Amino acid sequence: MRVSIQRIDPTLSLPEYHTKGAVGFDLITRQTTVIEPGKIALVPGNVIVKVPEGYALVITPRSSLPRKKGLVCPHSIGIIDADYHGPQDEILVQVQNITDKPVTVERGERIAQGLFIKIEKAEWDEVDSHGAETRGGFGSTGTHV
């Protein structure tokens, strides 16, 4: 799949898949950002990506982010739509500092990864009922007696 990408700072490298089996490519930060304790910040990912029609780009934190930096993504994942590629649409990674000290994310640091996911849009068939069989509601599986 060929994907159009624009770097904000061309001195930084393009996103890369770091192993042959990697499904996600790493996004690197465009500028050093300090996140104060308990605060949420947007870290610039240096790229504008034109997501191919029929796909979504999912942005997830790198699995080591909480352990190594004390940062989590408060929204868990980011979804980049196919029509989000204008001149101001740099991918930003939302992070929250869960430590009691300021955390610095350095320019050029790998902070998140992106995955292209094939999607289909639903066409709704409204019904009055889905039948009599139920599972017992939200949180009903995995309960212990």
pLDDT digits over 89-103, tens only? 999 999 999 999 999
* Model confidence at 64: pLDDT above 80: yes
Rounded CA-CA distance 48/38 in Å is: 28
Which domains are delineated in the chain?
A: 4-118 (2.70.40.10)
Q: What percent of the chain has pLDDT over 70?
A: 91
Residue 52: what pLDDT? 97
Dihedral of CA 139/140/144/145: which sign? positive
pTM of the model: 0.84
pLDDT digits over 14-46, tens only? 999 999 999 999 999 999 999 999 999 999 999
Residue 104's contacts (CB-CB under 8 Å, 6 or more residues apart) are 32, 33, 34, 35
| Phi (first) and psi of residue 50, to 5 degrees | -90, 100
* Model confidence at 144: pLDDT above 80: no
- Average pLDDT score, the chain: 93
